[in-house]
Structures are given as structure tokens and as C-alpha cells.
Amino acid sequence: MASQTPRQTPSEALTPEQRAEVDAVRAESHQTRRASVAAMEELLYEPLPVLDHGFVRVIDYMGDDAAIVQAARVSYGRGTTATRTDAGLINYLMRNAHTSPFEMCEIKLHVKLPIFVARQWVRHRTASLNEYSARYSVLDTEFYVPAPAQLAVQATENRQGRGESLSGERAERVLALLRTDAERSFEHYHEMLGDQPTPDGPTDGSDDAGPGLARELARINLPLSTYTQWYWKTDLHNLFHFLALRGDAHAQWEIQEYAKVILDIVEAWVPMAHHAFVSYRAGGAHLSAEGLAVAKRLIAGEKVDPATLAMSPREWRELKATLGIE
């Protein structure tokens, strides 16, 4: 499904107060001997919209392409001899899974995302994470509603994927249910917090506020579409692992949208490493021993009967898709 949920503009992603905070911090500058990347300096603190209410912001970063080369060569300087030589080394490291030099680069992101996306994201445990606390603070009344183009039936061959798109009255009904249920949950959330009157409260005006329930309890009925926020810090090697899985066409569409934005950030940050990743991981393929043997037979002009192979029907379909054969 290529259609996207309409995204906000950067100015729509923040309240006026938040926009003022971002503008103030972006107006600051600091002298440093550390390596910096001009394209990343332009991105710092600016919200890059994702989905209907989400965003990704670069808060800080360490290292650049030269830092990867420096670590690989264990150089006293930055390790750069020539751009072509450095690119070749980075390609070699990526191609042969020499991952530790990529771990010398780190990035810290501020991400606003629906809770159901966050629960997929947090499966990547090789990162430091600090999430917004709904025990301490009141959640904003913001929830994700998919664009009509993203509404689809359950896939028949993929138990965790989508099939054909819904349309017409079926799609309208689903959107109405998603929006109405979320709005009702937030209405009750604020009622339990005491932020608004209860429907059956006193009529004399003495005290018509809600019960004032603790925030940690009032939140429990909110839907998975609710937006949360966190700071997420990881190194480049583990970020590439995240992007390889969550940017893949088989990942849930919503988390793919976040992966696309982060991959653009990586391209601005470490263009040589980004090129190596796209060439050898995201754009490459891993074959099993039997898959490689089958590929060699096909190249030699042999006809392969899948019934004679040890691989499952799904593996055979995946191999054909990888090799681009019918």
C-alpha cells in the first residue's frame, strides 16, 4: 500500500509554546572540536512529521563517516585519507558484517508515536529509552486514526499483515468506530481525572468535578492509538538493524513510516554508511545454503522442481521473489 496518512507540517506538529522552545534552542550555537555534520546541524531539534500527530526530532548525535573509518583503522587523527578510500572501507565493513566501527556513532532522537507502534519499536532492546510518564503527567488528547487507504482486511498468507483494502461504507464504518471509541475513552479519562463534570454529578454547582482519580489509574482504559513520546538513543550499528527490520516491506506500515524518516536522517548524518547500508543490507539479500544452490542451478539453466526441494512453500515463494523469477 503506497498511500500515506496525510502528515502535518513541522509547524503543525508542535504547540506554539513548543515551537517557541524549539526556535530558541535552534538559535543557540556552540564552538567545539568535535566532528559535526552541516546537514545534521540544520536538522537539530526540528520535528519531522510522521503519521497524523507524530514526529521524529534529532536531539543530539556523535560521530560521522570519518569516525567509522577512524575506529576501523584505530587512527590517531580522524582517519580520513580520501573519500573514495573511506567509502570503500565502509562498504567492506558493511559487506562483511564488521559492525563495531559503526557502534562509534550514536544518535539521540525524540519520537512521538502511537502506543501500538511503540510496543513494536521497544522490541529493539539495544538502545537507551526514556518514555513520557502518564503516571506523572496528563496525556494529550491525541490518537492515531489511519487514512482510508490504510484500512485493510486480514491477509490470508501472513498472519500479522494486511490484505485487500476496505472501501465504501465498510471503510467509513471502521473509521467511525476508531474515532468514536478513542474520543469516548479520552472523555472518560478526563472525567476520571476530575478535569470535567460527571454526567450524574451534583446539580447545585457546589462540586460537579469528576472523582479526581490518580493519573496512573485513569490512563488504563485509553486505547493503543494514544500517542506517547520518548527519547531514544542508540548507536549506528543497532540503528541499521532497526531500519533493516522496520523499514522492510513486511513490517507494519505505520512503523515503516517512522523508519523512512529516520533513514533520511541517517543519509544526512553519515552518507557513506547510508549508501553501504542501502546497497548491502536493505537492498541486498541473504540466501540459505539451499537457496544459494538453487540460484546456481537456475543460473546454469537448469529447471528446478520445487517438489524436490527441502525448503517450505513459503521459502520457495520468498526465493523466487528475491531472484525475480516466476
d(CA 194, CA 217): 13
Q: Identify the active-site residue in 246, 297, 314, 317.
A: 246
What are the helix (H) ranges across 74-214? 83-95, 115-121, 168-193
Could you tell me if 131 and 230 are in contact, meaning their C-beta atoms sit under 8 angstroms apart? yes
Please, which residues have CB within 8 angstroms of residue 203's CB and are 6 or more apart in sequence? none
C-alpha cell at 22: 524549539
Cα(106)–Cα(213) distance, integer angstroms: 41
Question: Closest Cα partner for 113 from 136, 94, 132, 87?
Answer: 132
Nearest to 259 by CA among 160, 111, 115, 159: 111
Instruction: For residues 146 and 263, give the distance between their C-alpha atoms in angstroms, rounded to a whole number.
Output: 22
Element (H, E) at 153: strand 152-154
Distance CA 196, CA 213 (A): 12
Known active-site residue 246: yes
Residue 104's CB: how many other CB atoms inside 10 A?
18
Residues with a catalytic annotation lie at 246
